Amino acid sequence: MNQFLLERGNELVTKIGEHIFISGVALILGVFFAVPIGILLTRTKRTAAIVIGLTSALQTVPSLALLALMIPIFGVGKIPAIIALFIYSLLPILRNTYIGIKEVSSDYKDAAKGMGMTNVQSIFMVELPIAMPTIMAGIRLAAVYVIAWATLASYIGAGGLGDFIFSGLNNYQPDLIFAGTIPVTILALIADLLLGLLEKKLTPKALKEAEQ
């Protein structure tokens, strides 16, 4: 392994950077789309089941098939990979946001109204902070999924650590397989750890004390 690092260390760093970029952009897009939609669905409950059902159906499409479907529309490279990973990130974030906001006690909502808060103020100042642990659990799950599935992006020329893994499998080179698999595992663990720390920071102190 030391010999591999000496010979291909720079390439490994590049692949890690590509993997982080693909996964990070897909996850950020997922958060920006899924969280607002999840909140909106709690206000339009009739469409919630349809939207969540549609998102669930999209996630049942095999990863390679979804990546292949991106090629005729977006070609090959990082853009179709990011779009495919973005689609896969939606369900856990959307579902957890919907559940988290929906399960906020009506007492808190009534108290917010009693204080003269508008619907938007109630969402940002009361409901979101209380639902944050549930929402962050969805984001953490999506992050692990996206980092793992990003290895398949190498099949459509997006780069990343999947290049090492599949090259190693095709050429029977264990060093390449380990060089791709180990960093992916470490990235997933680091992402989960960092998002867990962010969750603690965003969760209201009173809620954390109540849980203890």
Question: What residue numbers bound the domain in which 152 lies?
Answer: 2-204
13 located within any domain: yes
Which tens digit of pLDDT belongs to each residue from 103-134? 988 888 888 888 888 888 888 888 999 999 99
Which tens digit of pLDDT belongs to each residue from 34-84? 999 999 998 887 888 888 888 888 878 888 888 888 888 888 889 999 999
212 located within any domain: no
Collect all residues with Cβ–Cβ distance below 8 Å to 125 and sequence separation of at least 6: 112, 117
The model's pTM: 0.89
46 located within any domain: yes
CATH number at residue 199: 1.10.3720.10
The total of structural domains in the chain comes to 1
121 located within any domain: yes
209 located within any domain: no
